[in-house]
Structure 1
Amino acid sequence: MQLPVGEVAVNPAAEVAWYFPETREQYRVSGNLTIVDAASTDSAMQAARKRVWHNMSDPGRQQFAWPHPGLPRHLEDPTAWDCPAPGPKDPVLDTFCLVVLHVDEVEQLKLKSNERFLYRRQEAAAVPADEGAAAVTWVEEPINP
């Protein structure tokens, strides 16, 4: 899947769905995306980007050194595909972005029992003792399947 980074900047809303055939459950997770690229200034997100880069396989890292995905493949330069994989300790390539989904809602559908639940994230008011940090709670609501 090619993620249009420019489109995410305009509209970060995203949804991911998983279905588990053995339990016959479906989960739909929605929220907003953050793209963490080389220019991102959030140090925690940059640290996460480096951790993911470090934990990727060599072939996974190698793909980020290839020519731009989705463009016509120029066969006149076959060496473009033979570059060595960057090592896990090598600097993160600028072409590598970390995509983070900040989850606001989770919908669970249990097909065996015909039950459906919506879980919504709610941030409580800032607590003065936490110097502005807001507590997060999740509210569960049974809904019609």
Structure 2
Amino acid sequence: MAGGGAAASALSSPWRALLQRALDANAHLKHSTFFQLATVGGGGRPANRTVVFRGFQEHSDKIQINTDARSNKVIGEIKEWPLGEICWYFTDSWEQFRISGIIDVMDGSSPDPAKLQQRERAWFASSVKSRLQCLGPSPGVPVANDDHVKDVHIDPSAGPVDAYCLLTLDPEKVDYVNLKSNQRLMFTRTQEGDESGDWMARK
């Protein structure tokens, strides 16, 4: 089962069933778990980057993304302008998902115990190799000595390091296109801000 996390449980949203089917159909392609995340950058300009799907938050349709809290500019911009949109294209099945919603930033400074627990669960669900990235040089800083990177080690049983940050995108609208069947579906959550809200679909 591709994607990890609570991928197959409680598929309550119609678009999520389509997404899981696409993940399964493209599971043999490593890049099928990569997608583009667009946010609002400084001065209202668009900012975009490629990130990795880290599964769904438990009992939720929220999409999880790992990032480095030392990316102060990026984290600060998202906290100020939490709107985001995912563009996810599956090259084998010719399916595209554009998923827009609100992004929540969960770093070690969060005052919410539930968010800290979710951050910890996501940390342990990540591979040790992925966790090691949070112990390397800060993003955007040149690496003067490769030996420093090679010598970094981590205790697999240790909790999240300060640099680890979990992002979750809470979907509000999903635009699905299947280029093979020429099918397009638009899904809109009828009660924005309410995870239990119903979804309305139209062609």
TM-score category of the 2 structures, normalised to the smaller one: 0.7 to 0.9
- Partners of 2:181 and 2:129 lie apart in 1 by 43
1:19 to 1:79, Cα distance in 2 relative to 1, 3 A:
closer
2:186 corresponds in structure 1 to 118
| Match among 87, 93, 104 for residue 23 of structure 1 | 93
- Partners of 2:150 and 2:171 lie apart in 1 by 36
Q: CA deviation at 1:9?
A: 1.3
- Partners of 1:97 and 1:136 lie apart in 2 by 27
1:66 corresponds in structure 2 to 136
Q: CA deviation at 1:121?
A: 0.8
Question: Which one is further off, 9-18 or 29-38?
Answer: 9-18
- Partners of 1:45 and 1:110 lie apart in 2 by 35
1:130 corresponds in structure 2 to none
What is the one-letter code of the residue matched to 1:85?
I
Does structure 2 retain, via aligned residues, the 8 Å contact 1:59–1:85? Answer: no
Q: CA deviation at 1:53?
A: 1.0
Gaps in structure 1 of 5+ consecutive residues:
125-132
Q: Using CA pairs below 8 Å that are at least 6 residues apart, which structure has the higher relative contact order?
A: 1
Q: CA deviation at 1:134?
A: 7.8
What is the one-letter code of the residue matched to 1:46?
L
Q: CA deviation at 1:110?
A: 2.0
Q: Which has the higher strand share?
A: 1
Does residue 33 of the first structure (1) align with residue 94 of the second (2)? no
What is the one-letter code of the residue matched to 2:163?
T
Q: Percent identity?
A: 30
2:199 corresponds in structure 1 to 138
- Partners of 1:99 and 1:15 lie apart in 2 by 13
Q: CA RMSD for the aligned pairs?
A: 2.3
2:167 corresponds in structure 1 to 99
2:76 corresponds in structure 1 to 6
Does structure 2 retain, via aligned residues, the 8 Å contact 1:106–1:119? Answer: yes
- Partners of 2:163 and 2:151 lie apart in 1 by 17
Aligned residues: 132
- Partners of 1:79 and 1:134 lie apart in 2 by 44
Does residue 82 of the first structure (1) align with residue 151 of the second (2)? yes
- Partners of 1:49 and 1:23 lie apart in 2 by 32
